[in-house]
Amino acid sequence: MCSVGDDYQENELANHMERLDIKEVKTCNKCREKIPNVLLRRKDGYCKSCFLNGTEHKFKAFLGKHRFIKKDEYVLVNYTIGHPITSLLSFLRSGINASTPKQLKFNPIVLYIERNFHLNYEQRLRLLEQIQQHVREFNFPIYFTSFVQYACHSNIDFKTDYREITLNTNDCEEINKLYDSNISPTAQMEFYKQFEHRLLLESAKRLGCQHVFTCDLAFDVASQILTNVSLGRGSHLQMDIGVCDARDPNVTLIKPLRVFDIKELALYNYFNRLEPLVIKEQQFDPYLSVQNLLTNFVQNLQVNFPSTITTVVKTGDKLSMDKEIWQNKRCELCLLPIETQNGKFTSAEATEFSHWISTHPPDPKVPAIEIYNETIGATGKNARKYCFACSRISDFLIKQ
């Protein structure tokens, strides 16, 4: 019998399993009276009522601290299937119904962007029906819109009844016509993300909303930070991962759940008997794209070193954007300001320069100064229309 192997397995198990040792935490951390029902961060035990009050308070405290939303404004809530949206709708409903001074005084409108091409027609329709039913349980208005119609035909149509939304069996082929078949999965995922982002902003404007709520958790923010740096979006990091994305002067994108982790929200839903919708996910290959790779990396961090997620998020929060950059021209895809040449090369421009030089061998007959000017002109050409990271996607876009 190999004892080394056994030890290894036991240690591995100890790393992966969070021991829910309620005996060690004898009373609730908050009321100091009741027996704890929940153990958070491996050490903080809470009774059911303190946990539920604390979770709702955390949400309201986040909104209260940042004071994004004024009285009677409209907020578009981006519906994404799972536990987070279920908790978010419940937080909003109980906050609006509250009769305390901390009552939420804005008007949420839910939007569902349909892009389930991987399901068949019946499954897609059934899912839309379930979403409509789910949102109606919280008594909020819901609109449906089609990602394909927007991406392929620049058409944004809102439907209040799920049966009216256009679902074509060839939606997948339609969307594939937009880009070159050689597109990498990384660029394809970025393409979806940027288009969805634009569709959200545009929908908010058309539906008269001044803000958008998304369902990103601390985990999503940590994955996004590492993905952005890897994809050359480091200079725009603050807009993608920050509390508030203000790239559009009229609509702000807010992540009100970025202070939560999935365990808190799943338990909140469980205690409140709230059933989230489930969807057949596409197979997750961790090595398919940069985004998947980093999501998988952060997933492993969450299991083995949960506090690292908070460290990554807090480090990201300390990074800020250069204020002067906002005067620059905006990228046509992500709408963020493009870094320009100012005597020195930015890292994006240096990469662009080096790529151009290595793919265009110099002609010995042409004077060096001409080669230099040609190179600078060629590398600056793409950067004028798109930021560095978007220029990587634009190379594959057929309709520009």
Rule CB under 5 A: which residues touch Zn ion?
Answer: 28, 30-31, 34, 47, 50, 331, 333-334, 387, 390
Nearer to Zn ion, 30 or 58 (CB): 30
Nearer to Zn ion, 231 or 243 (CB): 231
Nearer to Zn ion, 171 or 349 (CB): 349
Q: How far is the CB of 361 from Zn ion (least distance, A)?
A: 30
Q: How far is the CB of 88 from Zn ion (least distance, A)?
A: 24
Q: How far is the CB of 147 from Zn ion (least distance, A)?
A: 19
**Helices of type H across 180-230:** 185-206, 218-230
**Helices of type H across the chain:** 3-16, 48-66, 83-97, 121-137, 147-153, 171-176, 185-206, 218-230, 237-241, 262-271, 290-304, 307-318, 347-359, 368-385, 388-394
* Tokens encoding 336: 């963020």
* Tokens encoding 290: 């940069």
Q: How far is the CB of 327 from Zn ion (least distance, A)?
A: 16
Beta bridge partners of 114: 146
Nearer to Zn ion, 94 or 194 (CB): 194
395 Cβ neighbours under 8 A, 6+ residues apart: 180, 187
Q: How far is the CB of 27 from Zn ion (least distance, A)?
A: 8
In the chain, the amino acid numbered 60 is K
Nearer to Zn ion, 312 or 336 (CB): 336
Of 215, 269, 279, the C-alpha closest to 84 is 215
Residues 147 and 196 sit within 8 Å (Cβ to Cβ): yes
Nearer to Zn ion, 108 or 337 (CB): 337
Nearer to Zn ion, 34 or 58 (CB): 34
- For residues 58 and 53, give the distance between their C-alpha atoms in angstroms, rounded to a whole number: 9
Q: How far is the CB of 386 from Zn ion (least distance, A)?
A: 5
Q: How far is the CB of 376 from Zn ion (least distance, A)?
A: 21
Coil, helix or strand for 112? strand
Q: How far is the CB of 236 from Zn ion (least distance, A)?
A: 7
What one-character-per-residue DSSP string does 270-328 give?
HHTT-------PPP--TTSSHHHHHHHHHHHHHHH-THHHHHHHHHHHH----GGGGGS
Nearer to Zn ion, 128 or 241 (CB): 241
Of 93, 109, 111, the C-alpha closest to 274 is 93
Q: How far is the CB of 349 from Zn ion (least distance, A)?
A: 14
Nearer to Zn ion, 90 or 228 (CB): 228
Element (H, E) at 69: none
Residues 224 and 197 sit within 8 Å (Cβ to Cβ): no
Of 184, 186, 176, 185, the C-alpha closest to 148 is 176
- For residues 223 and 291, give the distance between their C-alpha atoms in angstroms, rounded to a whole number: 8
